[in-house]
């Protein structure tokens, strides 16, 4: 059986709590293996800074295998660089291309 795959797309800082709750619930309630990526663009990339109030939750979920990605264009627009965000966050050149590629790979698109 093929494992479930989901990509959560977040582009608003106000949606971080809901997104992380959704990720937690999917991890907790899934009866099968699930691959999860959280992709942030627009202002939501600021959620990957170490001083963000939910950075500890992001770090904990990463330790459980959740992948986190940030759009390079959005980081630049927010005056952030790779050294300004959590070390495990992958920087992708373009979030829209990443979303399209993930959906082609069978990832369910979730937008909390």
Reply yes or no on whether the pLDDT at 1 is more than 80: no
- 34-40 β-sheet, strand order: 90-92, 67-71, 34-40, 4-10, 108-110
Tokens of 6: 């989901």
CB hemisphere CA count around 27 (13 angstroms): 19
How many whole angstroms from its chain centre is CA 76? 17
Mean pLDDT to the nearest integer, 2-23: 97
Whole-Å CA distances, 29 to 22, 26, 92: 10, 5, 29
Write down the pLDDT at residue 2.
Answer: 77
Residue that has been written with the tokens 């459980």 in this structure: 64
Residue 2, helix vs strand vs coil = coil
Q: What are the tens digits of pLDDT across the range 17-69? A: 999 999 999 999 998 999 999 999 999 999 999 999 999 999 999 999 999 99
Q: By percentage, how much of the chain surpasses pLDDT 70?
A: 99
């Amino acid at each position: 059986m093929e494992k479930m795959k989901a990509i959560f797309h977040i582009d608003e800082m106000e949606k971080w709590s809901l997104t992380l709750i959704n990720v937690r619930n999917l991890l907790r309630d899934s009866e099968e293996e699930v691959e999860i990526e959280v992709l942030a663009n627009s202002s939501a990339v600021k959620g990957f800074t170490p001083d963000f109030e939910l950075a500890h939750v992001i770090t904990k979920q990463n330790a459980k295998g959740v992948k986190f990605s940030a759009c390079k264009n959005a980081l630049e627009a927010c005056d952030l660089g790779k050294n300004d965000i959590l070390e495990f966050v992958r920087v992708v050149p373009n979030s829209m291309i990443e979303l399209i590629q993930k959906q082609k790979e069978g990832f369910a698109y979730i937008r909390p």
